Chain A
Amino acid sequence: MQKIGVFVCWCGSNIAATVDVKAVANAMRSEPGVVYSTDYQYMCSENGQNLIKDAIRDYKLDGVVVCSCSPRMHEATFRKTALSAGLNPYMVEIANIREQCSWIHKDMEEGTQKAMVLARAAIAKVKKNAPLTAGTTPVTKRALVIGGGIAGIQTALDVADAGYEVDIVEKSPTIGGRMAQLDKTFPTLDCSACILTPKMVEANQHENIHLITYAELENVSGFVGNFTARIKKKARYVDETKCTGCGICTEKCPSRKGLNAFNMGLNTRGAVYIPFAQAIPNVAVIDTENCLHFKTGKCGICQKNCSAGAINFEQKEEILERKYGAIIVATGFRPIDASAFDEYAYTQSKDVVTSLELERLMNAAGPTGGVLLRPSDGEHPKEIVFIQCVGSRCSKDAAKGKEYCSKICCMYTAKHAMLIREKYPDTNVHVFYIDVRTPGKNFDEFYRRAAEQYGVDYIKGMVGKVSVEGKKLHVQGSDLISNEQVHIDADLVVLATAIEPDPTARSIGTMLTASMDTNDFFTEAHPKLRPVESPTAGIFLSGVCQGPKDIPETVAQAGAAASKVIGLLSKKELVGNPCVAHANELLCNGCSQCEKVCPYGAITYEDKEVRGPEFRGTKRIAVVNEAICQGCGACTVTCPSTAMDLKGFSNNQIMEEVDAICR
């Protein structure tokens, strides 16, 4: 007969308010196999844990059931408690009577009854538990950073400084990301390039950092500590080792059709180009769609003019396969496509621009050399209207836009407004807003300065329509404070478009089996306590890929992710999950069905001598590599003879739970 101990937690009043914890503890005392049952205010506290430890020793318990919060919260805690009292940690089961009971039921009687059923199910399961021991695997001391923006760069620098090798995979030809496109940063108004480019150079020169630019992740296999990534390095048609970045090819290129993506398509560039002056690596790249050589087979002017002989039209894409211990996702964001919001006439007028486009229009390295000119006619705009929350904070039922707040728009609009008023005092700036959100250090002061000192006209209300009227943009909006309609004939309209995860994020998430929310932001392992880790072990999150953030927050998160990565890479070996599949060789038919459904290739077959009542002799049997198995259980259901079972979630354990619940 087994000796089970039941421990019912009050969780203060979280559980005790809707579940009669004493009644549950009493009822469990008469369950077969239960030799000890008690309740306590906070089972996870030191005193609570001591209560469990003492009972394990005093009653020689061989199974423990804790009726408490979700196992996702404290299963690990109570397993450690059991271990320290000499009980195998996998002889502990949790009955979730908080999230699944006390918090959702209001009636005491109902909650108590359900808690008892859940406790009985856990008791039934624990009786079928078996002691498990985790295996260990080595850790590859190398990290992969996906994305070379400020988030990726910062994480890479921090990990590399700790002495580990880091590869940054960047899909575009240069690192730098969105921050490189910005003019000034809020709330200090320092130049974005001036603070970013030194970091880019540092990353490039760091002995532990390897930049793999113009490259995409093809496939990732393996698991924490032991990932294998296939990286496709696209053909640049320029030999990186030879190109000096002199830029002669870019000047000589006769094609001028390619849109300059760095300038948000506001001007064009050659078919061979360097994205921007401070690009790293400072190496040209050929855009084959616009290159005359690739289109017609003629031209080749760049090749003739390259004294380094770096142009190579024959270059092929390359596949790199590397092993990593940890992967950091830093895939960043893009502004949403504003053309969906045509009430603001974005597709009808060149003078309706997004904030990121304005950023380029104000940047000294931008298409206008930093002079704010209307894209349509190159004239100075005298009336500028900013429209906030374009595509952000939309209602759930709206046909377009995002439900979330993009977080950075209020502040960058204040920045833009302030900079314009400072440089062009004769220009009027109006800002239509729903709310101005400034929760950050020196943020509200900054906004107030824009409104109070720089005379920016903040109008609480939304714009209904922007219509093109000759050279003017007629803006029709409402002022909710004075409760009247506002009409402004503007020269330039700036849309604070929502930001969304980079479109590559979804496929990367799938490759990494890292969960994402409905907006394609990566989900963190815990929203408060583990904000920089993905629930998938070994995957870390840095920057906007996890949710909208400004630069300091991104850098902070990048550093936090790096410290988690360093913690992982510094481990000698990883203790695995013992809840893995196992094939009973006496029962195994060797039919290979399990192997087909295993997502990790953890199952192989071997001919083995078995001696059982049904079969004696050499038989083909399935063998599970426990270091590779992640414990999903796909194989167990495929197995017709139930030879394949999952430790910790065995057929018997789950059957017992079913029986207990349906009793």
Chain B
Amino acid sequence: MQRELMERIRALMDKGVADQVLAWKRGEFFYDTEPAILTKDELGEMVYDSFCGPNLSKYLIKEMPKIENKILALIKPCDSYSLNQLITEHRIDRDKVYVIGVGCKGKIDVDKIRAKGVSGITGVDENGDKITVHTLYGDTTLDRKDVLLGKCLFCKGKEHRIADETVGESEDTSEGSDRFEMVKKLEQMTPDERFSFWRKELSKCIRCNACRNVCPACSCVKCVFDNPNTGVQNKAAANEFEENLFHIIRAYHVAGRCTDCGECSRVCPQGIPLHLLNRKFISDINELYGTYQAGECAGQRHPLIDYTQEDSEPSIVHERGNNG
């Protein structure tokens, strides 16, 4: 797949479609991949394997002013939602991107391999439903589905919502489970239980900003948390507003625009289930205003910048909610 993809990119570059490609390259370890803008000469650095989890769409924003012709972008089916959303928000100029929809059969979470007691990992080979993990202490075979990224278990499907062409096959890796299951479980708890749940989770936060930096919806020219004039920035310890409410404000700011790509939780070094905040908004929006998937196509108007005269009153929160 990687070779096929690389050949296709080279062919497109030879034809003059674009001079650069937004792709993945290897990071420090074999299971680390990171976004990279590569020219034809640098194409050898490109990788595409089961560790290419990062959603690349956001990285196009910065490139926009620099692009004169077009840029090639490798977009997985789930990433295509984010790309559409960014096109909707005029952050990415569709005409400047040649979208190569890359096939995806689910990406692997190295932490899940480790969690199975496998250490000293040196490489991974895949054969269909199984993977062979090479370690310093020998090989181990695991079921592929057991080590997929959390977000792949809620795969949105194998279809690219936007692409100029596609390379490779995709597979829907969702296991038919309800992505709102955990949201519902939390809703069933008493307020105090919910509060302790979040307090426990959010107290792990080290404010590394990884969630913000990776989030395709968090792409403001200048983030409110970096702007002393917004009143939310943490100027000194005296102002704990930012510290207390960072994740909640962030979730609210992306509400309606979040495609549920799951990157926030994937990158969190502390393992905070941040996607559960976004999914709460998505779940409420779906229930109250009709099912809505951000980024399904470009040009959508999301439910929080829309209304109907018959919308339910905010008291519905109390009527539906559990106050113990």
Contacts and interface: CB of A to CB of B under 8 A. Distances in A.
Interface of A: 586-593, 596-597, 605, 614-615, 617-620, 638, 640-643, 651-652, 655-656
A533 B222 CA distance: 44
A642 B224 contact: yes
A656 B253 CA distance: 21
Contacts of A617: 65
Interface residues of B, number: 20
Contacts of A656: 231
- Most interface-central of A586, A589, A617, A620 (chain B CB within 10 A): A589
A78 to B, nearest CB: 27
Nearest to B223: A641
Contacts of B114: none
Contacts of B305: 593, 596-597, 638
Interface of B: 65, 89-91, 219-224, 227, 229-231, 253-254, 301, 304-306
Given A593-B89, A593-B305, A597-B305, A640 B222 contact: no
Main secondary structure of the interface of B (DSSP, over half): loop
Contact of B220 (A605, A618, A640, A652): A640
Contact of B224 (A588, A592, A638, A641): A641
Contacts of B90: 590-592, 605, 620
Top-8 shortest CB links A-B: A591-B89, A641-B220, A655-B231, A640-B253, A617-B65, A642-B230, A596-B305, A614-B222
A587 B227 contact: yes
11 contacts: A586-B221, A587-B222, A589-B220, A596-B301, A614-B221, A617-B65, A620-B90, A640-B224, A641-B223, A642-B224, A651-B231
Nearest to A590: B90
Given A617-B65, A619-B221, 18 more contacts: A586-B221, A589-B91, A589-B221, A590-B90, A591-B89, A592-B90, A593-B89, A593-B305, A596-B305, A605-B90, A614-B221, A615-B221, A638-B304, A640-B220, A641-B227, A643-B221, A652-B231, A655-B231
Contacts of A588: 221
A523 to B, nearest CB: 20
A655 B221 CA distance: 23
Contacts of A587: 220-222, 227
- Most interface-central of B89, B220, B221 (chain A CB within 10 A): B221
B210 to A, nearest CB: 19
Contacts of B65: 617-619
Contacts of B222: 586-587, 614, 641
B27 to A, nearest CB: 26
A656 to B, nearest CB: 8
B201 to A, nearest CB: 24
B229 A652 contact: yes
A597 B305 CA distance: 6
A615 B220 CA distance: 11
B138 to A, nearest CB: 50
A587 B233 CA distance: 15
A42 to B, nearest CB: 37
Contacts of A620: 90
Contacts of A642: 224, 227, 229-230
Nearest to A615: B221
A588 B227 CA distance: 13
B59 to A, nearest CB: 16
B229 A641 contact: no
Contacts of B254: 640
B33 to A, nearest CB: 27
A223 to B, nearest CB: 22
Nearest to A659: B231
A651 B231 CA distance: 8
